[in-house]
Amino acid sequence: MQHWIASTEAYVKAQLQGAEGGHDWWHVYRVWQLSKRIAQQESADTLTVELSALLHDIADAKFHDGDEELGPARATAFLEQLGVDAPRVAHIGNIIRYMSYKGGHNEGAFYSPEFAVVRDADRLDAIGAIGIARTFNYGGFRNRALYDPAIPPQLGISKEAYKNSTAPTLNHFYEKLLLLKDGMLTATGKQLAEARHAYMQTFVDRFKAEWEGLDG
Question: How big is the CA angle at 207 (ends 122 and 100), to the nearest 5 degrees?
Answer: 20
* pTM exceeds 0.85, yes or no: yes
The domain segmentation of the chain, as residue ranges, is 2-211
Under 8 Å between Cβ of 91 and 110: no
Q: Is the Cβ–Cβ distance between 38 and 120 less than 8 Å?
A: yes
| Second-level CATH architecture of 2-211 | Orthogonal Bundle (1.10)
Find, among 54, 2, 1, 50, the residue nearest to 26 by Cα: 54
Q: CA–CA distance from 69 to each of 62, 72, 99 (Å)? A: 12, 6, 12
Give the span between the Cα atoms of 135 and 22, in whole angstroms. Answer: 7
φ and ψ of 152, to 5 deg = -75, 155
Tens of pLDDT, residue by residue over 19-76, are: 888 899 999 999 999 999 999 999 899 999 999 999 999 978 787 777 688 889 999 9
Residues of the chain with pLDDT under 50: none
